A and B are shown apart, each in its own frame.
Chain A
């Protein structure tokens, strides 16, 4: 039995990737929860909005690279994030002005908003593909590893190796910083508190002199910043392909609903649960158990519950179970 090797193996192939993936989902799910609390509809264009924001970052990155700008060992894309945020803020505010504001004015039902956002999703998706194509775009540069498998083996002398990719470390740290800033904003600033007040009790917020249009604008701006950060981190980690970003819609929604719609803490917790569930169910545990079981009892199969292609089935199952048995989610959010 070699528990240390088992631990290293599971950390390398599951814990670190799930932590990075969960962080990316958390930033996206926070946006979903914020839009749901303030604008009171499920934002279906979330994944494709994330894609178009990331596309802007990629454009900025290529421009910077052509100019010879570099912040080695960090990826150049980090420098282009502010540019991407500006583009996406503009895009979302224009969308709001052209599409959603009308439905707010006529006090349309939430379902109308959802359908409108579905339309926005198709348009956004088309624009992204127009610029980026449907294939994969890689824009990661800088140092690839903080430490590689070989470094780790030489350093520890263990049979099993572990690597930490820069994109994973950057993802986890950035997500943490962004979450801290977001919570500071929501709990400590006047604008943040006015958002929470509006989400809590719309009529009383109006009565208190809070301007709803202003709250809506702040919400879109924050969502844009979260989405560009999340999309860039995901792209650095796994490459950019518009369809993959669209597919992120499901785990992001599952995370927000599992945590409790309208609860920012819930969105983060939900995101990590979804990420670990997806990774855990589709991970081949054979190596880990080979290290853990006594000799002669090693597993012969892969010990993989589902093939990786089915990871969204795991998320979908979580979503269905939550909606059936606890529709308010872990942190008592609103019911969709």
Chain B
């Protein structure tokens, strides 16, 4: 792996006012899991939004499979092979689970039944609930719908903004297992996580951000072992 699948290279920018990101670099290799962690207000979600094109960059570039996509809209990036699961309102609540998946495949004009089948194999519970309105499901199941919806475009990179926010620890472990499974199929994962310790345990690469800049970058296990990181960000 000489070149990462997706890289946000030296990104600098913000929501119009002062810069939030300062020369921040986030990259993920094929089939690997990269996790962005850091204290509150460190710009974790902002970094991910910047990679996805929801934020204007003053400096830096975003490249997907070597192609410069800095100028593309989020929708165009989805068409290029990026999947994004927002942190909140990431499903169509009044539509059935299956319809949610169909809407995920809206830009596809080929037969996507086998992709739906793959999502059901990954999340068997969704097959049982496929006729039920997604808004009636539990928090963990909704997250599965949200991830499944994003997988429908067969992305090369899947971006998750705090997928375990507001779910119980058991459901969180379960979700992380599924995310590892997705990565094994060759899809790269870029994820922002509040539960830093658990997330770094499954991460191939970890980015610790502080005030919108890279503080530590290493493999997940190395970061977990680093006494400085442990003391400052993982609570000892």
| A193–B95 touching, CB < 8 Å | yes
| B86–A200 touching, CB < 8 Å | no
The stretch of B96-104, B187-195, B203-211, B222-230 in contact with A is: B96-104
Which residue of B is nearest A202, CB measured?
Answer: B89
Is A301 part of the binding interface, using a Cβ–Cβ cutoff of 8 Å?
Answer: no
Contact A209 to B79, CB < 8 A, known contacts A194-B106, A197-B103: yes
Is A201 part of the binding interface, using a Cβ–Cβ cutoff of 8 Å?
Answer: yes
CB distance from B109 to the nearest CB of A (A): 10
**Which listed residue, B79, B92, B94, B102, touches A204 by the CB 8 Å rule?**
B92
| A208–B104 touching, CB < 8 Å | yes
Contact A203 to B89, CB < 8 A, known contacts A208-B149, A209-B79: yes
Chain A residue numbers with a CB within 8 Å of B91 are 201, 204
Restricting to B105-136, which residues have a CB under 8 Å from any CB of A? 106-107
| A207–B74 touching, CB < 8 Å | yes
Restricting to A206-233, which residues have a CB under 8 Å from any CB of B? 206-210
**Which listed residue, B89, B93, B94, B103, touches A208 by the CB 8 Å rule?**
B103
Contact A209 to B90, CB < 8 A, known contacts A193-B99, A200-B95: no
Chain A residue numbers with a CB within 8 Å of B99 are 193, 196-197
Restricting to A82-99, which residues have a CB under 8 Å from any CB of B? none
| B106–A204 touching, CB < 8 Å | no
Contact A208 to B107, CB < 8 A, known contacts A197-B92, A200-B95, A201-B91: yes
| B92–A207 touching, CB < 8 Å | no
**Which listed residue, A197, A199, A201, A207, touches B78 by the CB 8 Å rule?**
A207
Is A205 part of the binding interface, using a Cβ–Cβ cutoff of 8 Å?
Answer: yes
CB distance from B193 to the nearest CB of A (A): 21
Chain B residue numbers with a CB within 8 Å of A197 are 92, 95, 99, 103, 106
With the chains together, A57 CA to B106 CA distance in Å? 37
In this complex, the interface size class of chain B, counting residues with CB under 8 Å from chain A, is 20 to 34
CB distance from A264 to the nearest CB of B (A): 11
With the chains together, A203 CA to B89 CA distance in Å? 9
Chain A residue numbers with a CB within 8 Å of B90 are 204
CB distance from A107 to the nearest CB of B (A): 15
Which residue of B is nearest A209, CB measured?
Answer: B107
Chain A residue numbers with a CB within 8 Å of B74 are 206-207
With the chains together, A210 CA to B104 CA distance in Å? 10
Restricting to B38-56, which residues have a CB under 8 Å from any CB of A? none
With the chains together, A205 CA to B90 CA distance in Å? 10
Quick one: which of A193, A204, A205, A210 has the most chain B CB within 10 A? Answer: A204
| A193–B102 touching, CB < 8 Å | yes
| A205–B75 touching, CB < 8 Å | no
CB distance from A74 to the nearest CB of B (A): 38
| A196–B92 touching, CB < 8 Å | yes
With the chains together, A205 CA to B75 CA distance in Å? 10
**Which listed residue, B84, B94, B102, touches A207 by the CB 8 Å rule?**
B84
| A206–B86 touching, CB < 8 Å | no
| A193–B89 touching, CB < 8 Å | no
With the chains together, A13 CA to B136 CA distance in Å? 44
Which residue of B is nearest A263, CB measured?
Answer: B94
Restricting to A239-281, which residues have a CB under 8 Å from any CB of B? none
Chain A residue numbers with a CB within 8 Å of B75 are 206-207, 209
Quick one: which of A197, A199, A205, A208 has the most chain B CB within 10 A? Answer: A208
Chain A residue numbers with a CB within 8 Å of B89 are 201, 203-204
Restricting to A149-207, which residues have a CB under 8 Å from any CB of B? 190, 193-194, 196-197, 199-201, 203-207
Between-chain CB contacts (< 8 Å), 5 pairs: A196-B95, A203-B86, A204-B86, A204-B92, A206-B75
Q: Which 3 A-B pairs have the closest CB atoms?
A: A209-B107, A200-B92, A197-B103
Given A204-B86, A206-B74: 17 more A-B contacts, CB < 8 Å: A190-B106, A197-B103, A197-B106, A201-B92, A203-B89, A204-B89, A204-B90, A204-B149, A205-B103, A207-B84, A207-B86, A208-B78, A208-B104, A208-B107, A209-B79, A209-B106, A210-B106
